Amino acid sequence: MNEEGLLVADDRLVTLAYELRFDNGEVFERSEDKEPLQFIQGQGHIIPGLENALYGMCIDEEKEIVVIPSEGYGEYDQEDLGVMPREAFPDDLVLKEGMGLRLRTGESDEAFTAYVSQLNDDEVILDFNHPLAGTTLYFKVRILEIGNADPRELE
């Protein structure tokens, strides 16, 4: 156990170094290329499969974690596509396949992300699945810090 006696548990502020790979070994993302991941454990700030595997870890502990799609970004849903007329987009917006777009629902004005799946002359096919949906994720993690979350952060 670390010197403070803190383990990863609900409502603890956790700082995590990580590397994320796919089945084929390709590195998708790593914290050394940007900032370490910091989150409050047990609040759903990270995908469930990763969050659940971190419980009980201590500072400097390393672990390899496999997250199946249902515990990550979900299964890929072939039905979760939509078609919009190309004229619905601003003329100055250069659309590219794979591009993420922040959209809003008409009724509740809730924001969500869709990805350009296909471009045709008069329509745009949007994919509402997360880009990592249906993908098994391979994490290598190391706990850098564990602290108590500020009560304001827990609200």
Q: What is the CATH number of the domain that holds 113?
A: 2.40.10
Q: What pLDDT is recorded for position 111?
A: 84
- Digit-coded pLDDT (tens) for 38-78: 999 999 999 999 999 999 999 999 999 999 999 999 999 99
Query: Looking at the predicted structure, is the pLDDT value of residue 4 above 70?
Result: no
Higher pLDDT among residues 148 and 57, named by residue: 57
Is the torsion defined by CA of 44, 67, 17, 111 positive or negative?
A: negative
Instruction: Note whether residue 5 is domain-resident.
Output: no
Q: What pLDDT is recorded for position 5?
A: 65
Instruction: Note whether residue 2 is domain-resident.
Output: no
Confidence of residue 142 (pLDDT cuts 50, 70, 90): very high
Whether residues 142 and 101 fall in one domain:
no
Residue 114's φ and ψ, nearest 5 degrees, are -125, 155
Whether residues 34 and 51 fall in one domain:
yes
Q: What pLDDT is recorded for position 2?
A: 45
Q: What pLDDT is recorded for position 128?
A: 93
Whether residues 16 and 69 fall in one domain:
yes
Whether residues 27 and 69 fall in one domain:
yes
- Number of structural domains in the chain: 2
Whether residues 31 and 69 fall in one domain:
yes
Q: What pLDDT is recorded for position 1?
A: 47
Side-chain-side CA neighbours of residue 39 (13 Å): 19
Whether residues 62 and 16 fall in one domain:
yes
* Contacts for 35 with CB less than 8 Å, ≥ 6 apart: none
